[in-house]
Chains A and B, each alone.
Chain A
Amino acid sequence: MSAGAKLGNPAPKIRFREPQIEMAHGAGGKASRRLVEGLFAPLFFGASAEPLGDAAHLKINGAPMAVTTDSFVVKPIVFPGGSIGELAVNGTVNDLAVSGAKPEALVLTLILEAGLRTDVLQAEIQAIADAARKAGVRIAGGDTKVVEHGKADGMYITTTGLGAPLPDVEINPHSVRSGDKVLLSGPIGDHGITILLARGELEMEGDLRSDTRSVFPLVSAVIREAGPGVRWMRDPTRGGVATSLNELARDCGLGVILFEDSIPVHDAVRGACELLGLDPLHIANEGQFLAVVAPEVADAALKSLQETPGGEEARIVGEIREQPAGSVLVTSLYGGSRIVDMLVGDPLPRIC
C-alpha cells in the first residue's frame, strides 16, 4: 500500500437507527460515535467526510481561530484531585491545545439544580477562576439556568473555548504515515478510577487523584521541538487511550501498534483495574495527551516533554504500521498480542 494520502478505506456510512438515547451514547465509545456521525454530522455538515477533530479551525474574515465546546457532567462534583469546575476549564483548554491552538478565552454555561447549596456553587466558581488563571485563559462571559431538583446532579457546566491556531502545525490524521511514533504524556487511568472510587459504590479506596490539568505547556514543548513533524494529537478523555487511537486508526486507515510494557500506569490504577476486571486503556484521563510524530523527531520530542514540568513520565508507547489496518494492536515483550477496541459503553466492573 502506498504511503500517500489514504483515499481508500473511507469509513462506512453510519446511520443512527436507535429509537431512544441510552447512557452508552454519552460514554465516548462506539455508541457515541454512531450518534455523532450518524445523526448529527449528516444534518450539520452534509455529505462532506472530513474527520471530526477536537476543535474546529476556522477563518473569520481571514483571521484564523480555533473553537471548541465541551460539557461536564460528573458525579460526584468534587473528588480527590479536583472538581467539576476544574474539569470544565481544563477539558476545553486541552481540546484547543491538542488541535494545535493556543487557548485564549472561555465562555461558560451553568445549569444548576434547584436546591444546590450556595457554598458548593461558590467553591466551583472559585475552581473555575483558579483553573482559568493557571491555564492563562480569560473567562469572557457566560449564562446560567436553573432546573428543577433532581434534574442536574447538582450542576452541569458547558464551556466553549476560543484559541489562536499555532503556526507551523497542522493536525490531520491523513498525514499519519507508517513508521510514525506514538507519544503519551504520562500515566493513564488516574481520573476515571478516582471517579469510580469516589462514587463510593465499590467500597474500595486508594491514594489516587484525578490528573486534571492544562496540557498546553506540554503540547507546546512537543510542537516547539517537532513542529511540522506532529501529525496528530488527542486528549484521551472518555473512552480512554484505546478509543482515541481507534478513532485515529479508522481515520487514517493504518494500524496503531502499542507496546504494552511501555505504557505508564500507576500501581493503584493497576490494582483497581485488576480487581474490577477493567483495562486501563479504556479509562478516562483529564490531564494527558497522545501525539503521533514523525520518527526522525520522536526522540527529541520525547526528551522535550520529559524535561517539561509534569511531563517526566512521558513515553513513546507505540508506532504506526500498515497492519492491522484500521485497528489498534497491543503487543507484549514475549510476542503475544491482542486487538484493543473502542469502548462500547461505560466500563463495567466484572467478577468473571
Chain B
Amino acid sequence: MKYVDEFRDPELITKAAEEIRRLADPNRHYRLMEVCGGHTHAIYRFGLKDVLPPNIELIHGPGCPVCVLPMGRIDDGLSIAMQPDVIFAAFGDMMRVPGTHGSPLEHKARGMDVRIVYSPTDAIKLAKLNPQKHVMFFAIGFETTAPSTALTLLRAKAEGIHNFSIFCNHVTIIPAIRAILDSPDMRLDGFIGPGHVSTVIGCRPYEWIAKNERKPIVVCGFEPLDLLQSIMMLLTQLQKGEAKVENQYKRVVPWEGNRAALRAMAETFQLRPYFEWRGLGFISQSALRIREEYAEWDTEQRFHVPGIRVTDPKAAQCGEVLKGVLKPAQCKLFGRECTPENPVGALMVSSEGSCAAYYNYEHRKGNLLTTISASA
C-alpha cells in the first residue's frame, strides 16, 4: 500500500529506534503526551513501546471523541431513537458504547432500528430510502470529522431532505489540551500533536503551547515511522531547550489547514457556551452545535432532548485515565469489572480508548521482550 508500507519499513523502524536511543539523555526521564486516541491505538498496535528506551514515557491524552462523551448524551440519543419510526444511525465506533440501559447494539437486539454507517452521507442515503422514517445521525468526532458532518448538512439542505437530523456531539481539541496543561497533577515535557485534526485546523492553533507554556509540539502522522520521527524531533528540541511547533506530517497537513473545511464548519456550526466532557467536567467553548438557520436538521431542535446527566460509577477512574494522570491498569476496575466485553466506561470500548488499547494489545505481555529477543 503506497504511503503506508514505506512508513512501516522494519529496517527504517529499527534505525529510527536506534537514533532515539542515541538522542535520549540517559539521565533524563521524558514524559511525552500523544493527544490523539488514534496515536494511542497506533502505538499499541505497532508495539512501539517495545522499541523505545525505558526513559521515554508515553502518556495517553484525551483525544478520543467517543471516550469523552458523557453517558448522558448517549442516553439522550437512544431515548430519541426509541420513538417510533426513528432510525439511529452512527459509526461503528458508537455501537458498543454503554448507555445506562445498554449500548446501541443491545438496543438493536431489543428491536430498535440501529444502522452502522461509514460516512455521514450514508445517513442521508438511508433517509432517502426510508421516506416514512426519520434518520437521526449521531455525530461524533473532533475537527477531523466535523467538516464532513457540516458538508453533509449542507447537502441535506440542498437536496431538500427533511426526514434527517444530526445529533451533534462534535468537540474541539484545543480546550482539551488546555485542560491537560491546567491540570495540577500533570507534568509533561512535550506533545505528539494530532495529525488528522491538523489537516483541518492547521498548525497555528498550537502556537500558544510552544510560546506560552514553553512545551514543544510536533504534529505527527499515524504510521510507526511517523511516530518515531516525531519523538526524534521532540527529543532534539528538548535537548536544545527549544519549544516550537513542528510539522512532521507534512505530506498531508498544510500549515494553514483546510480553508474549505473551516468554511463549511463556520457556515453550519457555532460553539456551545460550555459542554460536559467525561472526566474533565464542563469546559467552555469546547463543543459544536448546529446554527439556528439549520435548526430543521438539528436533532436537539426537532426533538425533545431529555438532557440526561449520568455520573460515572465512583470506582471508575475514567477521568484520571483520560487526563493521563493514571495508566489504564491503575484504574481499580481495569480487567475486572471493566473489560471490552463488559465496559463500564467508553475508554474500554472505543478502539481509540487507552484502556481498550492497553487491554487488547498489551497487558498480557508481561516481561516478554527478553524472551523474544533471546530466541530471535
- Chain B: how many interface residues by the 8 Å CB criterion? 56
Assess the B341–A30 pair: CB atoms within 8 A.
yes
Assess the B364–A324 pair: CB atoms within 8 A.
yes
Assess the A350–B91 pair: CB atoms within 8 A.
yes
**B44 at the binding interface (Cβ < 8 Å):** yes
Q: Which residues of chain A come closer than 8 Å to B37, judged between CB atoms?
A: 352
Assess the B340–A336 pair: CB atoms within 8 A.
no
User: Which residues 326-349 of A have a CB within 8 angstroms of B?
Assistant: 326-327, 329, 331-341, 344-345, 348-349
- Please give the distance in Å from A280's CB to the nearest CB on chain B: 13
A274, A327, A329, A335 — most chain B CB neighbours (10 Å):
A335
Residue in A20, A327, A334, A337 whose CB lies within 8 Å of B13:
A334
**A336-B224 contact given A271-B1, A352-B93, CB 8 Å threshold:** yes
Assess the A329–B96 pair: CB atoms within 8 A.
no
Residue in B1, B17, B38, B362 whose CB lies within 8 Å of A339:
B362
**B109 at the binding interface (Cβ < 8 Å):** yes
**B51 at the binding interface (Cβ < 8 Å):** yes
Residue in A22, A23, A338, A349 whose CB lies within 8 Å of B47:
A338
Assess the B364–A348 pair: CB atoms within 8 A.
no
Assess the B96–A324 pair: CB atoms within 8 A.
no
**B360 at the binding interface (Cβ < 8 Å):** yes
**B122 at the binding interface (Cβ < 8 Å):** yes
**A277 at the binding interface (Cβ < 8 Å):** yes
**B105 at the binding interface (Cβ < 8 Å):** yes
Q: Which residues of chain B come closer than 8 Å to A276, judged between CB atoms?
A: 92, 118
Q: How many Å lie between the Cα of A1 and that of B48 in the bound state?
A: 29
- Chain A: how many interface residues by the 8 Å CB criterion? 42
**B186 at the binding interface (Cβ < 8 Å):** no
Residue in A30, A261, A338, A341 whose CB lies within 8 Å of B45:
A338
Q: How many Å lie between the Cα of A330 and that of B365 in the bound state?
A: 11
Q: Which residues of chain B come closer than 8 Å to A30, judged between CB atoms?
A: 341
Q: How many Å lie between the Cα of A207 and that of B368 in the bound state?
A: 40
Q: How many Å lie between the Cα of A277 and that of B362 in the bound state?
A: 18
Assess the B351–A323 pair: CB atoms within 8 A.
no
Assess the B51–A329 pair: CB atoms within 8 A.
no
**A7 at the binding interface (Cβ < 8 Å):** no
Assess the A352–B118 pair: CB atoms within 8 A.
no
**B55 at the binding interface (Cβ < 8 Å):** no
Assess the B65–A352 pair: CB atoms within 8 A.
yes
Of all chain A residues, the one with the shortest Cβ separation from B352 is A352
Q: How many Å lie between the Cα of A341 and that of B45 in the bound state?
A: 12
Q: Which residues of chain B come closer than 8 Å to A31, judged between CB atoms?
A: 341
Q: How many Å lie between the Cα of A333 and that of B145 in the bound state?
A: 34
Q: Which residues of chain B come closer than 8 Å to A22, judged between CB atoms?
A: 105-106, 109
User: Which residues 345-376 of B have a CB within 8 angstroms of A?
Assistant: 350-352, 360-366, 368-369, 371-373, 375-376
**A63 at the binding interface (Cβ < 8 Å):** no
**A47 at the binding interface (Cβ < 8 Å):** no
**B64 at the binding interface (Cβ < 8 Å):** yes
The proximity string for B residues 33-45 relative to A, scoring 1 for CB distances below 8 Å and 0 otherwise, is: 0000110000011
Residue in B93, B105, B352 whose CB lies within 8 Å of A345:
B105
Assess the B365–A348 pair: CB atoms within 8 A.
no
User: Which residues 1-56 of B have a CB within 8 angstroms of A?
Assistant: 1, 4, 10-11, 13-14, 17, 37-38, 44-48, 50-51
Q: How many Å lie between the Cα of A277 and that of B364 in the bound state?
A: 23
Some 5 contacts from A to B, beta carbons below 8 A apart, are: A324-B368, A336-B46, A336-B51, A338-B46, A352-B37
Give the B-binding residues of A (Cβ under 8 A). Answer: 20, 22-24, 30-31, 201-203, 257, 261, 267, 270-271, 274, 276-277, 321-324, 326-327, 329, 331-341, 344-345, 348-352
* Extra pairs beyond A261-B10, A351-B141 (18, CB < 8 Å): A22-B109, A201-B118, A202-B118, A276-B92, A323-B368, A331-B47, A331-B372, A335-B14, A335-B17, A335-B50, A336-B50, A337-B50, A338-B47, A340-B360, A348-B92, A348-B93, A351-B93, A352-B93
